[in-house]
Amino acid sequence: MTWEIVIGLEVHTQLSTDTKIFSGASTKFGAEPNTQADAVSLALPGVLPVLNKGAVERAIKFGLATGAHIAPRSVFARKNYFYPDLPKGYQISQMDLPVVGQGAITIQVEPLSGNAKPYEKTVRLTRAHLEEDAGKSVHGDSQGVTGIDLNRAGTPLLEIVSEPDMRSAAEAVAYAKALHSLVRWIGICDGNMQEGSFRCDVNVSVRKPGQPFGTRREIKNLNSFKFMQQAIDYEVQWQIDTIENGGKVQQATILFNPDTGETRAMRSKEDAHDYRYFPDPDLLPLEISEEWKEQVRATMPELPQDKQARYVGELGLSAYDASILTSSREMADFFEAALRAVPAQAKICANWLIGEVSAQLNRDGLDMAQCPISAQQLGGMLACIADGTISNSGAKEVFRTLWAEGGEADAIIEAKGLKQVSDSGAIEALVDEIIAGNAEKVAEYRSGKDKLFGFFVGLAMKASKGKANPAQLNEILKQKLAG
């Protein structure tokens, strides 16, 4: 009997504001410890929080992008606990009344094994709420003491909580990737996982299908999709083994060790902490008017799902192509910029981006933003394909040169003599010569050996040094061989 895996995610996205959520201190990453800790970050006696409007607007953007309810009135609460990197002794967060309510996000899942096909799935979002980050404890310096760096204290976070809708590690990873892409797309988070801008807590449980949810364990602070995958796989197997060996899964907070590939319990009982939440009396309820919401909506970029629909409907692309082209804002922007040079050739443009460009980027370990070819350069080359100046194989040569050396397609074609021969007289002469020089094969072809057609194409192409227009060549060859 098989087990069903149940996964829900809590994702902490660091919002891309210049200043902290409740003060004017900078949020820039990598500064000297405690140089970005103002009186509020240090929780000096008497200081008070003032809400950063930019953080709220980013939360509104997220709500709009996920079709979520945006609360006209939400409340900040204090989550009380003692920790040296929590300077006030409480974290300002949202509890009962979060700023963003229920929404949903549709993801493309690539199954990890077997010959299963990619499929689409909608994951429901429970809520997203604003909160401040804590500082950082720096353990084990040379004197064996723990240092506290409060540069990060008060950095704005949007915690995005999903329903337990995911049923495999693949779905969890696909969801996290989709979220990662979305928050970058709408410009609310830089998505830098190494710097901790996007961190995932994964709740995992297993059950027999149809049974109630099993006891969950929460894997904290995963900051890579690969680790997420490994951690879930390990954890699922651990839970199944535990139950099958007659044990019981205890609710726990656990950590994943990337070196060993194992998970281990951090605290045995999550509920041991009593956070004593209550509304923060230093902050008024957050009111979001329709007007404010509309002002924010006006600053939103076209969303990936809307772009996808437009690519399919207006440009005639396949749903698959459209989804790949909208997998990141950079990809979509690149596509649209390149398409400006060849407005009628969406398919060719898509093929090149998804094919050659992506493959080259992959080989060179670059991402779209680092692409050595600009959209204008690619567009120029595509225009040469579209008007027949170069063949596809000629284009590949041009592309390689653009990638390695830069320049313009026209100049490269000229310099390398890649201009395609579209003069029918010249092609005819060439074909005549081949027919004359291969009488035996021509006879075989004419007696019904159709497969030889390719042989003649090859000869002709070789003779033209690859410059013959393939469509024209085919046409003429067919005619002449027919006799």
Encoded one letter per residue, x for contact with other proteins by CB under 8 A and - for no contact, window 230-269 reads: ----------------------------------------
Map residue 74 onto helix, strand or coil: strand
Q: Which run of H or of E encompasses 14? A: strand 4-14
Amino acid at 202: V
CB nearer to other proteins: pick between 37 and 473: 37
CB nearer to other proteins: pick between 40 and 435: 40
Q: Which run of H or of E encompasses 429? A: helix 424-437
Segment 329 to 348, residues that bind other proteins, using CB under 8 A: none
Residue 291 touching other proteins (CB under 8 A): no
Bridge partners (DSSP) listed for residue 127? 161
CB nearer to other proteins: pick between 56 and 107: 56
Q: Reduced to 3 DSSP states, what percent helix, strand and coil does the chain have, rounded to the nearest 5?
A: 40, 20, 40
Amino acid at 84: P
Residue 140 touching other proteins (CB under 8 A): no
* Minimal distance, residue 47 CB to other proteins, in Å: 7
Residue 144 touching other proteins (CB under 8 A): no
Residue 80 touching other proteins (CB under 8 A): yes
Residue 138 touching other proteins (CB under 8 A): no
Q: Tell me the chain's radius of gyration from C-alpha atoms.
A: 30
- Please spell the DSSP secondary structure of 172-210, one letter per residue: HHHHHHHHHHHHHHTTS----TTTTSEEEEEEEEEE-TT
Residue 87 touching other proteins (CB under 8 A): yes
Q: How large is the angle between the packed helices 169-185 and 329-339, nearest 10 degrees?
A: 60
* CA 125 centroid distance within chain: 18
Contact 383, 431 (CB under 8 A): no
Token couple for 405: 């050396």
| Separation CA 166–CA 169 (nearest Å) | 8
Among 12, 20, 58, 78, binds other proteins (CB under 8 A): 78
CB nearer to other proteins: pick between 38 and 428: 38
* CA 439 centroid distance within chain: 58
* Minimal distance, residue 43 CB to other proteins, in Å: 4
Among 28, 269, 276, 446, binds other proteins (CB under 8 A): 276
Residue 84 touching other proteins (CB under 8 A): yes
Residue 199 touching other proteins (CB under 8 A): no
Q: How many residues bind other proteins (CB under 8 A)?
A: 28
Residue 210 touching other proteins (CB under 8 A): no
* Minimal distance, residue 279 CB to other proteins, in Å: 9
CB nearer to other proteins: pick between 47 and 255: 47
CB nearer to other proteins: pick between 273 and 340: 273
Encoded one letter per residue, x for contact with other proteins by CB under 8 A and - for no contact, window 30-69 reads: ---------x--xxxxxxxxxx------------------
Direct distance between the N- and C-terminal alpha carbons of the chain, in angstroms, rounded to an integer: 68
| Separation CA 209–CA 225 (nearest Å) | 27
Q: Cβ atoms within 10 A of the Cβ of 175, count? A: 24
Residue 287 touching other proteins (CB under 8 A): no
Contact 412, 398 (CB under 8 A): yes
CB nearer to other proteins: pick between 89 and 247: 89
Binding residues (CB under 8 A) for other proteins: these are 39, 42-51, 78, 80, 82, 84, 87-90, 148, 274, 276-278, 281-284
